[in-house]
Amino acid sequence: MINKRVANERGHADHGWLNARHTFSFASYRDPKHLHFRDLRVMNEDHIGPGRGFPTHPHDNMEILTYVLEGELEHQDSMGNGAIIRPGTIQTMTAGTGIMHSEANPSQENPIHLYQIWIIPDKQGLTPNYGEYTFDTEARNGHLQLIASKDGRENSAIISQNISLYTTVLEEGQSVTHTISEGRHAWIQVVRGSITLNGESYETGDGAAISEESLLTLTGKEKAEVLLFDLA
């Protein structure tokens, strides 16, 4: 069973400096049909204008992943971490018992395009933690590259939940397959370009909740970048 989430049906917030699309209910966007999928709680696509950003704000009991597509993101947090996150690096935060952080676009000329993903952790009250993991972006061309997992295998980012997150870049006509173990689920998010998923067309920003399927075949219609979550 594959339930498509069409890009232009997502929640939308335009604050001028921030143009955001919400796959699941977030902030003032409330949709009882799209609260979350399994342990995926937030899937926000954000465009942040030059010199703007989110001031210091709190989080707790959430795994937060940031995936930058274009531009640079400046991070500061209450654990003393400061960093510039660029394409090819995934940022992780275990909010746990509570953290404060800010995110800003340090460029006065160029916008940022990113996805921020929140995952419900497997335990409450975890010790806050921060991580940055940089990957060989060439290795995802035509292949599923593991970038986050519970056990950190293949040098992936470690997250406190039984989820494996993959990314891939597909040229036109190029395909990858992914086997879903019995009892598990998946979510795909097309972050750029267009693909077919098991023969059905998906465009930029489209997603899909997947259950009771054993094999996924993703094929590029045009050059595309896709996130694939294998979920408990």
CA dist 81 and 101 (Å) reads: 9
Predicted confidence at residue 213, as pLDDT, reads 97
Same domain, 94 and 144: no
Predicted confidence at residue 44, as pLDDT, reads 98
Predicted confidence at residue 169, as pLDDT, reads 98
Q: What is the DSSP string of 41-76?
A: EEEEEEEE-TT-EEEEEEE-S-EEEEEEEES-EEEE
Give a yes or no: residue 4 inside a domain: no
Same domain, 37 and 65: yes
Same domain, 61 and 97: yes
Both structure tokens of 155: 């040098």
Same domain, 15 and 107: yes
Same domain, 128 and 106: yes
Range of the domain at 91: 9-134
The residue among 134, 169, 187 that closes a domain is 134
pTM over 0.85? The answer is: yes
Same domain, 41 and 118: yes
The residue among 77, 102, 134 that closes a domain is 134
Give a yes or no: residue 1 inside a domain: no
Same domain, 97 and 199: no
Block mean pLDDT (10 aa), the chain, length 232: 97 96 96 96 98 94 97 94 94 96 95 98 96 95 98 96 98 98 98 97 98 98 98 98
| Residue 193 Ramachandran class (φ > 0 left, ψ -120 to 50 alpha, else beta) | left
Quote the DSSP letter at residue 17: S
For the chain, how many structural domains are there in total? 2
Phi, psi values for residue 7, rounded to 5°: -55, -50
110: Cβ–Cβ under 8 A, 6 or more apart, which residues? 50, 70, 71
The one-letter amino acid code at 40 reads L
Predicted confidence at residue 204, as pLDDT, reads 98
Give me the CATH number covering residue 93: 2.60.120.10
